[in-house]
Structure 1
Amino acid sequence: MTGILYGAGVGPGDPELMTLKAVRLIRENEVIALPGPDARETVAYQIAVQALPELAEKNLLSVDMPMTHDKEEMNRNHQKAADIIEAYLKEGKNVVFLTLGDPTIYSTYLYVQKHILNRGYHTELVSGITSFCAAAARTGTSLVEWDEQLHILPAVHKLNSDLSLPGNYVLMKSGRKMQQVKEILKSSGRDVVMVENCGMANEHIYRSTDEIPDDAGYYSLIIAKELKGRHD
């Protein structure tokens, strides 16, 4: 019998937002994979260990997949990550791979899962609370009402968007290109709220484009809402 790879979301930052299923899987399994060169320094570990101090005693796998736009290098990194995990699956050990938010939303884990599936192993996804749902809750903001549409964009890759479609927008991964993102937001005429480091000790909330600093951190999520009547 070979092991199972679980991709488990730990939520956006507040350890109380981890699901019971993610907590149970960590408790029941010894091999825990985390995305980074040092497992204990990853954000996912720092969130989860607050909910489960016993995580510190587990067999922690550091799965380093540096961010790059070189697709060949990216694929090599994902293959190496799959190699690390497969060694344990072959031995019949389950591996729980912890990832921020939900593993189905812009998660590097998904690339590793594809390689593992192609090698004939069984995998399972474990949903976590998404960053944009948590950010909306923290700011008391609805994401959509009635028949509104919701558009989710990785802002760093969509700097040519004018946010002109009807409905509301979520801009993820905004921090590295914040100056350009702010220009787009101002031109759009939308109501804007941003949460930086949602649920973490260094969380900050900004309630207008003018409030948002140009040097906002990587974990910055923006909700840009359509002004009522714009498309009525």
Structure 2
Amino acid sequence: MAGTVAGAGVSTTDISTANPPSSDASALSELRATEPSEGKTVGTLYGVGVGPGDPELITVKAYRMIRECPVVAYPKKRKGGKSYAHEIVELYVNPDEKEMLGLIFPMTKDPVVLEREWGKTVEACWEALKQGKDVAFVTEGDPNLYSTFIHLARLMRELHPEVPISSIPGISSVLGAAAALDIHLADGDEQVGIIPATADKEAMRQAIEHHDTIVFIKVAKVLDPMLELLDEMGLGGKASVVTKVTSPYELVWRDARELKGQELEYLSLMVVSK
């Protein structure tokens, strides 16, 4: 499968004791709007966006939160390997000095299984929170945009409403893809849509018709139907695909038609710019 490797390799030398992106103490003090709790009976749950894949795209505030919170929770893969969020965290903190909490999130649509497994992740966090420990749950991209943190926070509010919850915004893969393609997403009165790609052809058609630029996430499983629809709409040459955005393994296809009939990584998105 042909593609352009757009991500530069990132050094993985030990930077667990590195200074944050800014060493100016006065500048950092202005960012301390939300300090990890001390002396509280219940800790705070933080959703911390660590960016789309490139460790250098973590914000100063996200860096500080994962350094200062005693517990760092992260999405854990069932079959080994590490998520981008996990890899990024290990670059900036020493796991031996933290309580590292790996959480497994179910990849199913069965509501019974989902509720049971999500309940387990909430209770795992609650065990630390009820001891007064702050928990930083790290997530790729932004915690409030198609993130596992959204579900975790919702269920935590239902089961343990006394837990304070806060989020630290991060750079989304949507923005990383625009940078990789060197395109703008919207300007002036232009409209942009961020849409989960599905097999619902009519819904996808309407999304394309109603926006000037459309970013389709989770496009891997419906790539060919999407390409067929774009051809029908006369937009076959207007779509690009980026996988593993901003990571050292990022691949870019400026003409998505090159991918017809091929399999894509799960972490792939399509940008249609009319």
Q: What is the identity, as a one-letter code, of the residue corresponding to 1:208?
A: D
Q: Contact 1:40/1:46 (CA < 8 Å) preserved in 2?
A: no
Amino acid at match of 2:55: P
- TM-score for both structures, normalised by structure 1: 0.90
Q: Find the counterpart in structure 2 of residue 171 from structure 1.
A: 216
Q: Give the aligned residue type for 1:145.
A: D
Q: Is the Cα contact below 8 Å between 2:50 and 2:141 reproduced in 1?
A: yes
Of residues 33-42 and 69-78 in structure 1, the stretch that sits farther from structure 2 once superposed is 33-42
2:233 paired with 1:192: no
How does 1:39-188 map onto structure 2 within 5 Å? 41-50=82-91, 52-55=92-95, 57-118=97-158, 119=160, 120-156=162-198, 158-160=200-202, 161-162=204-205, 163-188=208-233
**1:218 CA drift (Å):** 0.7
Q: 1:204 aligns with which of 248, 251, 256?
A: 251
Matching residue's letter, 2:156: I
In structure 1, what is the Cα distance between the partners aligned to 2:199 and 2:148?
15
Distance 2:211 2:97 in 1: 49
Q: How many residues align?
A: 225
| Structure-2 separation of matches of 1:198 and 1:56 | 29
Which amino acid is 1:131 matched to? S
CA distance in 1, matches of 2:157, 2:199: 28
- C-alpha contact 2:43 2:134 (8 A) present in aligned 1: yes
Q: Give the CA deviation at 1:59.
A: 1.7
Amino acid at match of 1:195: V
2:271 is the counterpart of 1:223: yes
Select between 15-24 and 177-186 the one with higher mean Cα deviation. Answer: 177-186
What displacement does 1:58 show? 2.2
Query: Secondary structure of the residue that 1:128 maps to in structure 2?
Result: coil
Is the contact between residue 26 and residue 55 of structure 1 (CA under 8 Å) also seen in structure 2? no
Amino acid at match of 2:263: D
Give ranges in structure 2 of 5+ residues lacking alignment: 1-40
CA apart distance, 1:55 = 4.3
Mark the CA change 1:158 to 1:56 in structure 2 (over 3 Å): closer, same or farther: farther
Q: Where does the alignment leave 5 or more consecutive residues of structure 1 unmatched?
A: 227-232
Quote the offset at 1:164 in angstroms: 1.9
| 1:164/1:188 contact within 8 Å kept | no
Contact 2:199 2:222 in 1 (8 A): no
Between 12-21 and 210-219, report the one with greater CA deviation: 210-219
> 1:229 matched to which residue of 2?
none
The DSSP-based 3-state class of the residue aligned with 2:258 is coil
- Superposition RMSD in Å: 1.9
